[in-house]
Amino acid sequence: MEPYVKQHTKNGIGIIEFFHPSHNSLPSHLLSELARAITIAGEDENVKVIILQSGGERTFCAGASFEELMDIENEESGKEFFSGFANVINAMRKNPKFIIGRIQGKAVGGGVGLASATDYCMATKYAEVKLSELNLGIGPFVVGPAVQRKIGLSAMSQIAMDANSFYSAEWAMQKGLYTKVFDSVSELDKAILAFAENLCNYSPKAMTEMKTMFWRGTEDWDMLLTQRAKISGRLVMSEYTKDKLRELE
């Protein structure tokens, strides 16, 4: 199947879905489409709540596109590459609607960042998490603020430093990333739909005010995440990272 970002609305629920055949990794063009879809849904008066999900049943999101990472030739293009996830996270942060995350499978790197930037997140027991960036000589700089905001500095530091390990969905729920964990995708979908339908009964203005309250203290993230993307763009040009990437070719 070809990569895509698609969105549709039914009964006040806006569903945004992304897909890539390589474990739902996200190259720059898909990240741009995803940020745009999130912004448009936030401006649509027919949308009362948003569900963010990915296609397939195995991996929620494998993070940034590895192929694109290997093609970075200078610090500026590196900054632009890493800004893709920054733009999506900021679009989610600024969206006036609640965003529910549907995490059906593993989340790696930027995928953990996307899950963390949702306002309410449910998962299956297969939705393990890993921040693998340190393996390549970089770090979860762009997604770090979103992950830290959701699970705290201690837990974020744990998975960022232990870059080779997957942490269970149960662990992620205990730390506050997931609100509930289900045994199957069908159970997950049933719970998410019921929760979204219930939210549609509430006052849109009240929910918008609540979202503003929840995200208080993140007003500098446009600048912060850009600065973090610049750090990653510089590190990805290091000999250490280049050697690591060559080893993985």
pTM of the model: 0.95
Average pLDDT for 7-24: 96
Contacts of 131 (CB under 8 A, 6+ apart): 108, 109, 112, 140, 143, 147, 156, 159, 160, 163
Find where tokens 């609607």 sit. Answer: 97
What tens digit of pLDDT does each residue of 49-64 get?
999 999 998 899 999 8
Determine what percent of the chain is predicted with pLDDT higher than 90. 88
Q: Which of 49, 186, 17 is nearest to 26 (CA)?
A: 17
What pLDDT sits at residue 71?
85
The residue-averaged pLDDT of 208-230 equals: 97
Per-residue pLDDT at 239: 87
Query: For 187, what's the count of Cα atoms within 13 Å in the CB-facing half-sphere?
Result: 9
Provide the residue ranges of all domains of the chain, joining segments of one domain with +.
4-184
pLDDT score at 211: 98
**pLDDT (tens digit, 9 = 90+) per residue, 108-161?**
999 999 999 999 999 999 999 999 999 989 999 999 999 999 999 999 999 999
**Integer CA distances (angstroms), 104 to 127, 219, 228, in order:** 6, 30, 28
Are 132 and 163 spatial neighbours (Cβ–Cβ below 8 Å)?
yes
- The upper half-sphere exposure of residue 240, i.e. CA atoms within 13 Å in the direction of its Cβ, equals 10
Helical (H) or strand (E) element with 37? helix 28-43
Q: How far apart are CA 92 and CA 143, in angstroms?
A: 13
Contact 27, 71 (CB under 8 A): no
Asked if 110 contacts 143 with a C-beta cutoff of 8 angstroms, the reply is: yes
Tokens 């549709």 sit on residue = 8
Lowest-pLDDT range of 71-80, 86-95, 166-175, 182-191: 71-80
Query: How would residue 99 be classed by pLDDT, with cut points 50, 70 and 90?
Result: very high
The band of 246, judged by pLDDT with boundaries at 50, 70 and 90, is confident
Q: Do the strands 59-61 and 106-108 form a parallel or antiparallel pair, or are they unpaired? A: parallel
Q: What percent of the chain has pLDDT over 70?
A: 100
Q: What pLDDT does residue 249 have? A: 65
Across the range 10-22, mean pLDDT stands at 97
CATH architecture of 4-184: Alpha-Beta Complex (3.90)
For residue 137, give both structure tokens. 């000589």
At 243, is the pLDDT very low, low, confident or very high (cuts 50, 70, 90)?
A: confident
Q: Is the dihedral angle over the CA atoms 225, 164, 245, 138 positive or is it negative?
A: positive
- Interacting residues of 197 by C-beta distance below 8 A, sequence separation 6+: 11, 13
For residue range 194-204, what is the model confidence (pLDDT) as tens digits?
999 999 999 99
